[in-house]
Amino acid sequence: MRRSFVRGCGLFLAALALPVFAVGTATAAKSSTNKLAPVTINGSGSTLQLAYDQQVILVDFHKTQPTVTVNYSGVGSGAGRQAFIDQTVDFAGSDAPFPAADAAKPKGGAYLYFPTVADPITVSYKLSGVKSLQLSAETIAGIFQRQITKWNDAKIAADNPGVKLPSTAITVARRADSSGTTQNFTTFLNKAAPSAWTLGAGSTVNWPTDTQGASGNAGVAQIITKTNGAIGYVDFSDAQAIGMTYAKVKNADGKFIAPSTPAASLAVAGAAVNADLTYDPINVAGAKVYPITSPTYLIVYQNQTDASKGNAIVAMLNYVYGAGQKTAPTIYYAPLSKDLLARAKSQVAKIVVPAG
């Protein structure tokens, strides 16, 4: 009796130990196949995705792959794309695809666009006594073109029935430097209020003289927070970090929606996606969509020449499409929609990495 009891206990303990042992070897096997060769990859470009890249790629991804060092410098989408053409960086961050004239220029041959996250652009303001504001695209166009100069103008009152608006003068804050934020903001006004908006769409536009220009989202935010009656466009992550008040914007369906990561993700979901995975989420249809949402991409060469760099880039993209999507809302970026995420994940497989 005692011997069989001991044998039984022994078998029982062994049975308990087996799963632990199995998991142990399995984990060891996983980490030994996933550890990449030491390598440094460099990217540059968009400042809109800079905060996202710094957290998700430079910090979080680096923790999972300590031997891979990723450098990213926010020099602007245009400069990043040029560096990608000249192959001085391994990948570029850009808020817009290559313009048609530059599309064939990249020296490394075929390249792929990988959408990462989306960032809503807020219309932030400071007006004492007015805690909530809603604006249509035509009103925004009139304000930024200096046709509407006082807060109690009829057009603003029409968008805000029942709200008491003071007669304070409007101070318009906008970007002095060229930026993707300006590009997406003006593209929205071009699409949503084409007859009202005459300044066109671009990274720099010919703003009226009596608007205040400052460098960077932080500069615009500084002007808004210091001046009562100021209004300007600031991207969502900066607006949240500084604690700004922003307006609800009328979307294509006629509903006034506040900027938020879910509303931006709905814009991504509602956008038509091209075959190369570029998409335009600005002013798409949808009741709960936030219309001023900007896309951003990582651009990568399809045929990698260096095995260790190629594997590192693939691992980086897989991380962005895995844990990186969950981190996005916590740092005020909108993750991709399910459909676009699935297509992006399958595009990672198109990258050709040489063996070794």
Contacts with other proteins by CB under 8 A lie at 47, 75-79, 81-82, 99, 101-102, 171, 176-180, 183, 186, 199-207, 209-215, 223, 227
Residue 191 beta carbon to other proteins: minimum distance, rounded to whole angstroms: 14
Q: Cα separation of 223 and 243, whole Å?
A: 14
Q: Which residue number, 102 or 306, has a Cβ lying nearer to other proteins?
A: 102
How far apart CA 155 and CA 224 sit, in angstroms, is: 21
Q: How far is the CB of 104 from other proteins (least distance, A)?
A: 13
Distance CA 169, CA 127 (A): 10
Choice between 124 and 260, CB closer to other proteins: 124
> Residue 226 CB, nearest distance to other proteins (Å)?
8
Least separation in angstroms between CB 275 and other proteins: 23
- Judge residue 103's burial from the number of C-beta atoms within 10 Å of its C-beta, 0-12 exposed, 13-18 middle, 19 or more buried: exposed
Q: Long-range contacts made by residues 218-224, C-beta under 8 angstroms, separation at least 24?
A: 218/242, 219/175, 219/176, 220/173, 220/174, 220/175, 221/124, 223/171, 223/173, 224/124, 224/125, 224/126, 224/173
Q: How far apart are CA 316 and CA 256, in angstroms?
A: 37
Minimal distance, residue 218 CB to other proteins, in Å: 11
Residue 185's Cβ-count burial label (10 Å; 0-12, 13-18, 19+) is buried
Q: Which is nearer to other proteins, 121 or 205 (CB)?
A: 205
**Minimum distance of other proteins from residue 207's CB (angstroms):** 7
We find the least distance from the C-beta atom of residue 60 to other proteins, in angstroms, to be 26
Closest to other proteins by CB, 134 or 179:
179
| Residue 182 vs 337, nearer CB to other proteins | 182
In the bound state with other proteins, the residue whose beta carbon lies nearer, of 83 and 267, is 83
How far apart (Å, rounded) are the C-alpha atoms in residues 312 and 38? 9
Listed residue (180, 177, 190, 95) closest to 144, CA to CA? 190
Q: Which is nearer to other proteins, 187 or 293 (CB)?
A: 187
